[in-house]
Amino acid sequence: MKEKLKFYVSRVKSGRLKEMRRQTVWIYQYARRYWGAMVFYTLLGFAGTGFGLFASWVSKNLVDIITGHNSGALVSTFCLMIGMNIGTLIVNQISEYVSAYISMKVDAEIKLDIFEKIMVTDWESLTNYHTGDLLTRWSSDASNISQGVLSFIPNLLIYSFRFVAAFVMVVYHDWTFALFAFMGMPVSLILSKTLMNRMVNNNQRSAAMGAKLSGFNQETFSNIQTIKAFSLIRLYVERLKQLQKEYITMRLDFRKMSIWTSLLLSTVGMAVSYACYGWGIYRVWSGVITYGTMTMFLSLSGTLTGTLNSLTSLVPTAISLTTSAGRLMDIVEMPREDYSLDDQAGEFMEKNRSQGISLAMDHIAYSYHNGNQVFEDASILANPHEIIALVGPSGEGKTTMLRLILALMQPKSGQAYLYGGKTDPGEAGRLPLTPSARRMFSYVPQGNTMFSGTIAENMRNVKPDATDEEIIECLKLACAWDFVEKLPDGINAMIKERGGGFSEGQAQRLSIARALLRKSPLLLLDEATSALDVATERRVLKNIMQDDYPRTCIVTTHRPTVLSACSRVYAIKNKKSTLLNQEEIDELVQSF
């Protein structure tokens, strides 16, 4: 017997049930924050149940008074019944309002918490997920969790209380009716056990398909210009049609299962109700109970059956909750970025702001998670008032080097650190390159990185307290004031999504101006001048370095024409970084 017990326990702990238990524990971390709201919601449910059951008892007395021609108590009982119905109505309305308020509050707080966790998740791990999938998990799955946190446990308690209270009332007046209330229980339990695996699979398929659709829509609308340019409209319409067909087929399969389940439960419910009718009529004819008691029994029978079905319906709710929890856990349980040096980084920046900050990447090795090695021994050095260029063929690791500098990715070996001034003081005066060090960087990545809003709002994203004069000064340094001052609204001109309304070159100059406004000791430009003509490109770089601010600038470029403005040039190729001499730089310029 003991061995059998151990076997069943191990079965429960393994596989899907074990995973659901882990997901439930994860949901609990949110549920425990809102125990007060859940208690209040539960008490309202108990009050509503009490009003409803008391109304059934008053209805019984009213029927008995009418059939017994006892007109003396008719008016008072009728008024009491009206009062109970009004009370039930008020409690239900209050419950719905409070529930809506708490649900929205909990939903916002959980989404904010999960949003924050996603934002500090390891960048390379996040790139394994499509943006549309991340958005679906954050919005739909987080909302599912917030609704479940508030309602699942209270509903479990409310339905249980309602079932027990109704059952006690039935047993108190005539225990034989209780037998009919339990007639549908075996069917409900067997059905729940049979459908559990299918529910899990359907929920997982539905979530995955929703994420696929969301990802398709997000990617399509983001690249609508390319789709139009290549005349791919018909292709993408057909793709959406196919995705919709797959989604409809999947949902119809789920609906078929729901229909058969509902038909079976409804049939069982009808059978129980008719049995109660027949038994009630028999008991009345036998003189055992009154008409009022039979009316109450029929009402309570419906309550018992309905409550039992409601309890059963919590099973798919629980499955849906744990499925959503599992999808969110995939994201929030990925490695987190380390911000433990925030205080040290703040002190380091203030200490070295006046003299500038140098950057050193010393014998760095790095491989992507898929095993593809990018660097095996790469070193670069950049000092204040210098422009350092990284050149080389596409795909050799220039952008990856900038991501390593920003600590978006961590080197497998070697050292990456900052130090004040141009002289390395050694370990004691260094600051490791971790996410905490990003406050010292301004970054202009490839492509258009402007947000929708005004030019001034975009600028103030990096420095909320910037004055109009500071913004204009940075626009001048980036050679952007030439066109901004001609706009009717100047710095308050609107920028559309993804920089719409401006050319690529103009958007690049605005991005550079925004980076300069931050006044960071280190500036990273990743092909940030690729859309500019050579003369404007040189002017921008010259303005950056003539600025009195002790800035360290690192640029990646395919255009060697600007290399003459650089202090040092590193060639990124063959998994190494090679410092080029003047002869090699001249050769590179001539061969361009």
Q: Which of the pair, 466 or 152, is modelled with greater confidence? A: 466
CATH superfamily of 343-590: P-loop containing nucleotide triphosphate hydrolases (3.40.50.300)
Question: Is 72 exposed, middle or buried, given 0-12, 13-18 or 19+ CB atoms closer than 10 A?
Answer: exposed
For the chain, where do the domains classified as CATH 1.20.1560.10 start and end?
34-332
Give the pLDDT score at 401: 92
The answer on pLDDT for 325 being more than 90 is: no
DSSP track, 322-354: HHHHHHHHHHHTSPBP--TTHHHHHHHHHHHTT
Q: Which of the pair, 206 or 74, is modelled with greater confidence? A: 206
C-alpha to C-alpha distance for 319 and 323, rounded to whole angstroms: 6
For the chain, where do the domains classified as CATH 3.40.50.300 start and end?
343-590
- Beta strands 373-382 and 431-432 are unpaired
The answer on pLDDT for 70 being more than 60 is: no
pLDDT band at 6 (very low <50, low <70, confident <90, very high): very low
Give the pLDDT score at 419: 93
pLDDT band at 78 (very low <50, low <70, confident <90, very high): low
The answer on pLDDT for 11 being more than 50 is: no
pLDDT band at 547 (very low <50, low <70, confident <90, very high): low
In contact, 60 and 23? CB cutoff 8 Å: no
- Residues 455, 458, 459: CA angle, nearest 5 degrees: 90
Question: What's the pLDDT tens digit per position in 147-199?
Answer: 777 778 788 888 888 888 877 877 777 777 667 666 655 655 565 555 555 66
Q: Is 553 helix (H, G, I), strand (E, B) or coil?
A: strand
Q: Which of the pair, 532 or 207, is modelled with greater confidence? A: 532
Question: What's the pLDDT tens digit per position in 351-399?
Answer: 998 899 999 999 999 988 777 888 988 999 999 988 899 988 877 888 8
pLDDT band at 559 (very low <50, low <70, confident <90, very high): confident
Give the pLDDT score at 182: 63
From 1.10.15.40, 3.90.110.10, 1.20.1560.10, 3.40.50.300, which CATH number describes the 34-332 domain?
A: 1.20.1560.10
Element at 252 (helix H, strand E): helix 233-285
In contact, 455 and 499? CB cutoff 8 Å: no
In contact, 420 and 429? CB cutoff 8 Å: yes
C-alpha to C-alpha distance for 339 and 79, rounded to whole angstroms: 67
Tell me which of 177-181, 243-247, 550-554 is least confident.
Answer: 177-181
Question: What's the pLDDT tens digit per position in 367-380?
Answer: 887 778 889 889 99
